[in-house]
Amino acid sequence: MAWRDSRHNRSRLFLFISSIILGIAALVATLSFGNNLRDAIDDQAKALVGADLVIRGNKYVPPPIRKLLDSLPNRHSEECSFASMVYFTKSQGTRLVQVRALDGDYPFYGSLETTPISAGRSFRGGRQALVDKTLMLQYGAQVGDSIKIGECTFAIAGVLNKAPGRNEISTTVAPPVYIPFQYLAKTRLLEKGSRVEYQLYYQYDPGADMEKFAGTIRPRLEKSRLDEETVESRKKRMSRAFGDFTQFLTLISFIALLLGCIGVASAVHIYIREKIPAIAILRCLGVKARQAFLIYLIQVAGIGLIGSVIGSALGLAVQQVLPAVLKDLLPLEARMGISWWAVGQGITVGLIVSVLFALLPLLSIRSISPLYTLRLSVDNSRRAPDALKGVVYAAILFFIALFSFRQMHSWDKALVFTGSIFGAFVLLAAVGWLLMWVVRRLFPASWNYLWRQGFANLYRPNNQTLILIITIGLGTTFIGTLYFVRDMLIDRVTISAAGNQGNMVLFDIQTDQQSAVLDLLKQNQLPVLQQTPIVTMRMAEINGRTPEQAERERDSTGRAGVPPDRTGAPPDRRGSSPERDDASSNRPGPPPERAFESELRVTYRDSLAASEKIVAGKFGGGGNAHPGGSAGSSGASPNFGSAGNPVPISLEEEYARRLHVTIGDRIVFNVQGVLITTVVGSLRQVDWRRIQTNFRILFPSGVLESAPQFHVLVTRVPSPEVSARFQQAVVRNFSNISVIDLGLVLSVLDEILDKIGFVIRFMAAFSMLTGLVVLIASVLISKYQRIQEAVLLRTLGASRRQILVITALEYFFLGALAAATGILLSLAGSQALATFSFESSFSPHWGLVALLFVLVCGLTILIGLYNSRSVLNKPPLEILRSEV
C-alpha cells in the first residue's frame, strides 16, 4: 500500500528527501576521510618518525643516557638543528632557514625525497647541502650552485622535496636545509646562547619492544630534560591532532545534514497536507489511524534510505577530493579507500534523522478525520497537544547530543553544541512566527494590493515562511560565523603595515656586536624601534619548592593542580600577603611540572612597554635598590647575584595563573649558575598581538645587566628591496644573527589561514548547498501550492510585472528577515567565541555583513522568481494543464 500510494508523488517526495543527500555526502566524506587518515597514520607512522626512537633536547645527550640508549643493539643517527640565515651566492638572496646538520643514515624508515634521488644519501659525503624546494624556486637556485651558512659554503647537492614527518606548512616559515654534521662546526654558528635542538635517532632490532624500553628510560630522560618519541607515541599524537580536525569537519557536515533534515520535515509536512484527501478516503474505507501512519512512515523511511545511500556514494566520491584540498596540511599521503564503517554510519545516521524529523509531520496523520472526505475544513483547534510530538522533539535533541558526544568525547561540549543549535532553531522559528503574526495582524489594509498579496503569501495556507526562515537563517548563521571567525583569526596575526610598527626582527645579537649592528642600521637609514636585552634562565624554586619537592607534592596529592584552598577562593584569587616572609606558610599548591622544565627568556627594563598594563601590585622598575640574590653567587658583578632583598619582578597575569603564584610569592631563578631570589611585585596584562618583543617575566633594571645575554632589535624596512639588501649585509657581517622579515612571515601565515579557511569553506559549502537545495525544494513545494493562485491572478488580468513584484516582495522579506536574524546570531556566536575561546576582541567587518545580507536576500529572491517563471510567460490554461 505504501508503495502504491507513493506512485503519484514519488518524484516529488524524492525531491524533498534530496535535501539530505548533500548532508549525508559531507558526513560520509569526512568520516571516511578520518578513517582513511587513521589507517594512513598507522601505515606510515614509521616513515613519519624515520626511526624507532627519537630523543630530543636543547643540549647534547649526556653520556650516561647515551649508554642507556645503547644498551640494546642499534643503529643511530644524530641531528643538530637551529634557525639561521642562508645566503644564496648566485642570486645574493638571504633567508631564515632551519639548518639541520645530519650525521649517520637517518631516516631509517622512509627517505629524504630529493631531486636527484641519490642526493638524499650522497650529500653526507662532502661539503654539500640539500635545500628545500620552495627556497630553490624562490631564489632561482640550481643543483650545483652554492649557499653560505655562517662561515661555511656548501654546494647544493639536491632539491629537498620532502623530509619525514614534515608538511608543506611546517616548512614554510623556516624551510629546512640539510648539511652534513661534520661541517657544523665550520659554520661557527654554535656559540654560547645559541638556540639549538639536538636529536638522536635510533633504529633497534625489529623484535625490540620500544614502548617498554621508552617507558623504562623515560624518568631518566625527564630528569635530563629530554623528550622521547616512538612510532606509537607519534601515532597517538597525530591521531589526536587529525582526529580533532576531522571531528570538526564532521560537525560541520552534521550541521549540513541537520539543515537538510529541516527540509525533510517541511517537505513531509506539505506532502501530508496534499495527502489529506487520500488519507481521509482510506480512513473512510476502514484503515486504522495507526495503519495510515505506518503507510507514510514506510514511504518516508524508504525514500530516506535511498537518499542516504545516494548521499553515501556521493560522499565516497567527495572524499577523493579531500586529500588534494588538505595536501599542504598533511605530513603523510592518505590513500582514499572505501570505509564501509563510514558508509554504514552515514546510512544509519541519514535514516535515523530523516525518520526522526519526518515523524513530526507524520504524527498528524493519526488525527486526520474521515470527515475530510465530506468537508475540507475540519476544526482541529480544540484537539489536545500531541504528547508524542514532545517525545519526538526530545529524541531529536538526544540524537544530536549523542552524535556530537561521539565526535567531541565530552558531554559538556556536546550539550553546548546541541543547545546552541536548538537555541538557534528556536530563535529563528520564533522570528518566523512573529513575522507571520505581525503581517497577519498589523499589516495596513490600505497598502497597495501587490504589497498586501506579497505579505499575505507569508502566512498563506501551506506557506513556507517558517521553514525558509529557519533554513536560510541557519545557513546564514553558519556561513557568517565561519567568515567572522576566519577574519578574527587573521586579525589576531595581522600586523598593521601603517605607522611605525616594526616589520623586521634581528635575533641573537651578542653584546659585543650591538654597536656594529646599530651602525649598520644607521648606514641603511633604518630606525631602531626597539632594542631588548634577553637573559636566559630557569626556575629553581617557587615558594620554597624545588622541582623535586614539587614533584613529591604532586605525587602525594595525585594531581598537578592546586590543592584545596583553605579560604575557598579560586587559585587565581588566592590571598597572599606581600609582607609574607615564610613562603612555606599557607603555601599554595605545587607549581606545575612544566614551570621548571623550560628555559625562560627574560628581559629587564625600568618602564612598561606600550603593550603592557599593570593589573595588580606595583611595577618596581628602575631600581638598583633590589640587589636580590642568594647562595651560590659567582660574584659576577656588584648587582648580579649579590645577596640582599628579593628582587621585585613582574609576571604576565595568565602566566602567573598557570604557575599558581600571585603578588608576594617568591621565585628563585637560576641565571646560568647564579641563583637570584625574586618576589612577584606586580602582574601585567600583555597585548601579545603588538609587534614587539613581549615577555612573561620582567626584571627591573639594575639586576641582570652583567648576566650573559643577547639582544633583539626591531626595525622597520620600507620595501622588500631594502629588506633584501639589509639582510645580505647582516649575513655578510654577522653570520650568527638571524633576521625575520615579518612581512614574509605574515604572508605565510595568511597563506596558512587561507588554506585552512579553504578546507573549512569546502566543507561549509555542503551546508550552503544543502541550504540551497532545501531552499529550492521548499520554493518548489510552495510553487505546487500556489500555481493555481498565480494562474488565477493571471486570469483576472495580473500583468507579468505584478506577479513578479508579488513574488519578489514575498521572497525579499523572507530572505531579509532570515538573513538579518542569521547574521545577528552569527555575530553573537562570533562574539562568544572571541570572548571565551580566542580571548580577544571582536569587531566585525561591516562590509562583509552587508555583502552577506545582500547575497542571501538576492539568492532567495532569485530562486523564488526563477520558480515562478513558467507562470509569467505561458498562457494560464497551458500551465494549469501541465503543472497541476
Partner 1 sequence: METILTIRNVSKTYQGAGRSLNVLDNINFSVEAGETLAIVGPSGSGKTTLLGLSAGLDRSTTGTVELNSISLDGLNEDERASIRNRYVGFIFQNFQLLPTLTALENVMVPLELRGEKNIRARSKELMDKVGLSDRLHHYPAQLSGGEQQRVSLARAFSNNPRILFADEPTGNLDAETSEKVVKLLFDLNREAGTTLIIVTHNAELADRTQRIIRIKGGHIVADEKR
Residue 257 contacts residue 28 (beta carbons within 8 Å)? no
Task: For residue 818, give the nearest of 262, 363, 346 by alpha carbon.
Answer: 262
Sign of torsion over alpha carbons 471, 473, 476, 481: negative
In the complex, least distance from residue 452 CB atom to partner 1, rounded to whole angstroms: 8
Cα separation, 829 vs 246, whole angstroms: 22
* Dihedral sign, Cα of residue 738, residue 739, residue 744, residue 750: positive
- Give the shortest CB-808-to-partner 1 separation in angstroms: 16
- Compare residues 264 and 805 and give the one whose CB is closer to partner 1: 805
Q: Name the residue nearer to partner 1 (CB basis): 130 or 806.
A: 806
Provide, rounded to whole angstroms, the least separation between the CB of residue 370 and partner 1. 19
Which three three-digit cell numbers place residue 83? 634557525
Choose between 736 and 778: whose C-beta lies nearer to partner 1.
778
What is the three-class DSSP state of 147?
strand
Nearer to partner 1, 324 or 796 (CB): 796
Find the shortest distance in angstroms from Cβ 307 to partner 1: 31
Identify which of residues 720 and 875 has a Cβ nearer to partner 1 in the complex.
875
- Verify cis geometry, omega within 30 degrees of 0, for the bond prior to 331: no
Min. distance of Cβ 774 from partner 1 in angstroms? 23
C-alpha atoms less than 13 angstroms from C-alpha of 802 in its C-beta half-sphere = 15
For residue 864, the minimal CB distance to partner 1 (Å) is 16
Q: Which is nearer to partner 1, 67 or 441 (CB)?
A: 441
Torsions phi, psi for 672 (to 5 deg): 45, 50
**77, 106 Cβ separation under 8 angstroms:** yes
Q: Which is nearer to partner 1, 60 or 447 (CB)?
A: 447
Q: By C-beta, is 583 or 793 nearer to partner 1?
A: 793
Q: Taking the complex as a whole, how short is the minimal distance between the CB of residue 239 and partner 1, in angstroms?
A: 57
What whole-number distance in Å separates Cα of residue 587 and Cα of residue 567? 12
Please, what is the minimum distance in Å from the beta carbon of residue 790 to partner 1? Answer: 10
State the minimum distance, in angstroms, from the CB of residue 280 to partner 1: 16
What is the nearest approach in angstroms of partner 1 to the Cβ of residue 381? 13
**What number of other Cβ atoms are within 10 A of residue 27's Cβ?**
31
- In whole angstroms, how close is the CB of 294 to partner 1 at the nearest point? 30
Segments in 706-840 forming alpha helices (H)? 720-733, 742-795, 800-832
Q: What contacts 702, CB < 8 A, 6 or more positions away? A: 604, 606, 622, 623, 624, 625, 626, 639
Output DSSP code: residue 635.
-
Which of residues 394 and 792 has its CB atom nearest to partner 1 in the complex? 792
Q: Return all residues near 589 (Cβ < 8 A) that are at least 6 apart.
A: 553, 557, 561, 562, 563, 571, 660
State the residues that interact with partner 1 by CB under 8 A: 376-377, 448-449, 452-453, 456-457, 459-461, 788-789, 792-802, 872-878
Cβ-based neighbour number of residue 140 at 10 Å: 11
The C-alpha atoms of residue 652 and residue 609 are separated, in whole angstroms, by 13
Tell me the residue type at 185: A
Residue closer to partner 1 (CB basis): 416 or 456 = 456
Q: Is 90 or 869 the residue whose CB approaches partner 1 more closely?
A: 869
Closest distance of CB 877 from partner 1, Å: 4
Rounded least distance, CB 875 to partner 1, Å: 5
Task: Return the number of the residue (4 or 881) whose C-beta is nearest partner 1.
Answer: 881
Q: Do residues 585 and 664 make contact, with C-beta atoms less than 8 angstroms apart? A: no
Quote the CA–CA distance of 787 and 381 in Å, as a whole number.
28
Other beta carbons less than 10 A from residue 50's beta carbon = 22
The number of residues in the chain equals 884
Q: What is the 3-state secondary structure (H, E, C) of 171-193?
A: HCCCCEEEEEHHHHHHHCCCCCC
**Beta strands 666-671 and 504-510: pairing type?**
unpaired
Nearer to partner 1, 113 or 274 (CB): 274
How do 74-88 and 196-204 pair as beta strands? Answer: antiparallel
Considering the complex, state which of residue 355 and residue 806 has its C-beta at the smaller distance from partner 1.
806
φ, ψ at 663 (rounded to 5°): -55, 135
Question: Can you tell me whether residue 569 is helix, strand or coil?
Answer: coil
Q: Are strands 94-103 and 504-510 parallel, antiparallel or unpaired?
A: unpaired
Q: Cβ 789 to partner 1, closest distance in Å?
A: 6
Cβ proximity to partner 1: between 463 and 639 the closer is 463
**Three cell numbers at 170?**
611546517
* Beta-bridge partners for 156: 129
Helix (H, G, I), strand (E, B) or coil at 197: strand
d(CA 836, CA 832): 6
